[in-house]
Amino acid sequence: MTDDQPAHGARAELLAAARRDDWNPPALPQLPEGVQARRSAVLVLFGVLDSIPATTPDAAVAKDLDVLLQRRAPTLSSHPGQVSFPGGGREAADRDDIDTALREAEEETGLDPTGVEILAALPALPLAVSNHHVTPVLGWWTKPSKVAAVDHAETVEVFRVPVAQLLDPATRFTSTITRAGMTFRGPAFDVDGTIVWGFTAMVLDRLFDACGWTVPWDATVERPVTV
């Protein structure tokens, strides 16, 4: 991805990545056999950093591409304090995973869902630590709306991160966490001191690979993360 590549090219590359059969992140811990996991969905929303709708070909170049993230409240019982995509558990009124992802994103960030084009609902992934099957819903922000943390009991911060910053090799490292005597490793990003790791980082890492955006980085650099 080059600085003079238009942002709508990134949209096409995300669509192509979603159609791949092998996009799934590697090495995600599997749910125990026989466990009934809760169905959830997250919105993986890409857009541009300025206020011009991304449907305008000359609105932005790829260096302006960004992704929407949030920081969960430290008091939550599940993944406290972690950076995540907007999302949550499916409710009875939700027709599908897309409904869940958009509803949760609106509730958590104030996002206007009418400005989001859904590119794909990706295959569900296990999130063993909280007993969920999570569907990443890939979106493109055709008309960005104002976002902020709506309920501080759940979300303390909402922010848009430039993809170019996430791709910078200086931002990237391998996270390590030890549970029950076993050490788990995965991709991670240090965004000006904000650490993106775990499920969110794995999905971003695999999407970047599938889109052909990844810049070579040193995976031997390891740093422990804390829960």
Closest CA to 113 of 123, 101, 102, 121: 102
Q: Name the helix (H) or strand (E) containing 10.
A: helix 7-18
- Report which residue type is found at 60: A
Question: What local confidence, expressed as pLDDT, does residue 59 receive?
Answer: 34
Given the DSSP bridges, would you call strands 172-179 and 222-224 parallel, antiparallel or unpaired?
A: parallel
What residues does each domain of the chain span? 7-21+37-162
Closest CA to 162 of 194, 117, 138: 194
Closest CA to 147 of 118, 184, 104: 104
Question: What local confidence, expressed as pLDDT, does residue 127 receive?
Answer: 75
- Average pLDDT by consecutive 10-residue portion of the chain (227 residues)? 52 90 68 71 87 43 80 60 89 94 95 96 80 88 91 84 91 89 88 92 93 93 88
**Helix residue spans in 170-227 (DSSP H):** 198-211
Report the residue count for the chain.
Answer: 227
Question: Tokens at residue 206, please?
Answer: 């695999």
Question: What local confidence, expressed as pLDDT, does residue 82 receive?
Answer: 84
- Give, as one character, the DSSP assignment of residue 167: H
Domain spanning 7-21+37-162, CATH class: alpha beta
pTM of the model: 0.85
CB atoms within 10 A of CB 215: 13
Question: What local confidence, expressed as pLDDT, does residue 178 receive?
Answer: 83
Give whole-number Cα distances, 211 to 33, 122, 214, in Å: 32, 14, 8
